[in-house]
C-alpha cells in the first residue's frame, strides 16, 4: 500500500510539473515538499444499535509535495498529500478496537499574502482511503471501513521565511463520511464527522 502511494505521489508530481510548464513563462512557479502532524477527531452519529460506541483520535502525520503559482498578492497552491491517523473505538463493557485510516488527498488552495503572512482556503479532493484494524478485543470477524466524501475543504494561515513556511490549517467536510462496522451478527453503517487540525512545515526550492 505504501509503495503504491509513493509511486502515485511521484507520478502525480511529474504530471503537475509538465502540466504547468506553459504557465511558467507567465507566472513564477515554485515546487516544494511538506510534512506535518495532525490531530483528527471522529464523531459517530448514534443509532439504535451503536449508541454506545465512541471514538478517540491520536496524533497522525502527513507527507506531501506541492507547487505554488504566484499571481501578485494572490497565489494558487495545489498539493498531493499522504496522511495517516489512528483511532480507538470503545463500546459497552471493556470492548475496544484500534484502527488506522490512511488517505491520499489533493488540496487546491487559493492564497493571499501580506508581507510574510499567508492566508489560504480551498477544496480538498480525496483520491484514496484505506482503513486497517490494528488491534481489537472484539470477535475475530470485527471489521470497519471509513469512507470519506470525495470533496472536503481546508482553510488556514501561515508565515514564511525564505523558502521555509509554517502553517496551521483546519480540514473539514461539506458532507458527513460514513463508517461500515461489522462483527458477530452486527452489520451497520454509521454516519461520522471527521475534522482535523494540522501544523505543517514546508520548503519551496
- Determine contact, residues 154/168, Cβ cutoff 8 Å: no
How confident is the model over 58-75, as pLDDT tens digits? 889 999 999 999 998 899
pLDDT of residue 158: 97
| Band of pLDDT at residue 11, cut at 50, 70 and 90 | low
| Band of pLDDT at residue 25, cut at 50, 70 and 90 | very low
Ramachandran quadrant class, 185 (left: phi over 0; alpha: psi -120 to 50; beta: rest): alpha
CB atoms within 10 A of CB 5: 17
pLDDT of residue 200: 98
| Band of pLDDT at residue 51, cut at 50, 70 and 90 | low
Third-level CATH fold of 2-204 = Porin (2.40.160)
The Cα–Cα gap between 198 and 85 comes to 12
| Band of pLDDT at residue 138, cut at 50, 70 and 90 | confident
How confident is the model over 159-201, as pLDDT tens digits? 999 899 999 999 999 988 888 888 777 788 888 888 899 999 9
Does position 48 have pLDDT exceeding 70, yes or no? no
Angle (CA) 136 43 197, round 5°: 105
* CA distance to 80, 99, 102, 167, per residue, from 126 (Å): 10, 19, 11, 21
pTM metric for this prediction? 0.79
Residue 135 phi/psi, 5-degree rounding, is -160, 155
Amino acid at each position: 500500500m505504501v509503495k503504491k502511494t509513493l509511486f502515485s505521489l511521484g507520478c502525480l508530481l511529474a504530471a503537475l510539473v509538465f502540466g504547468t510548464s506553459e504557465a511558467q513563462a507567465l507566472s513564477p512557479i515554485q515546487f516544494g515538499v511538506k510534512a506535518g502532524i495532525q490531530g483528527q477527531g471522529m464523531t459517530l452519529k448514534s443509532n439504535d444499535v451503536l449508541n454506545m460506541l465512541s471514538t478517540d483520535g491520536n496524533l497522525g502525520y502527513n507527507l506531501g509535495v506541492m507547487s505554488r503559482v504566484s499571481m501578485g498578492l494572490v497565489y494558487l497552491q495545489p498539493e498531493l498529500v499522504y496522511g495517516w491517523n489512528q483511532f480507538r473505538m470503545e463500546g459497552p463493557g471493556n470492548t475496544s478496537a484500534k484502527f488506522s485510516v490512511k488517505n491520499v488527498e489533493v488540496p487546491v488552495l487559493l492564497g493571499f499574502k501580506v508581507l510574510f503572512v499567508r492566508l489560504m482556503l480551498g477544496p480538498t479532493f480525496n483520491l484514496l482511503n484505506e482503513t486497517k484494524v490494528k488491534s481489537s478485543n472484539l470477535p475475530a470477524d470485527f471489521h470497519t471501513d471509513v469512507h470519506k466524501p470525495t470533496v472536503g475543504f481546508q482553510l488556514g494561515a501561515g508565515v514564511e521565511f525564505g523558502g521555509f513556511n509554517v502553517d496551521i490549517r483546519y480540514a473539514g467536510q461539506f458532507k458527513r463520511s460514513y463508517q461500515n462496522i461489522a462483527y458477530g451478527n452486527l452489520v451497520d453503517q454509521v454516519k461520522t464527522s471527521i475534522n482535523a487540525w494540522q501544523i505543517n512545515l514546508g520548503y519551496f526550492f
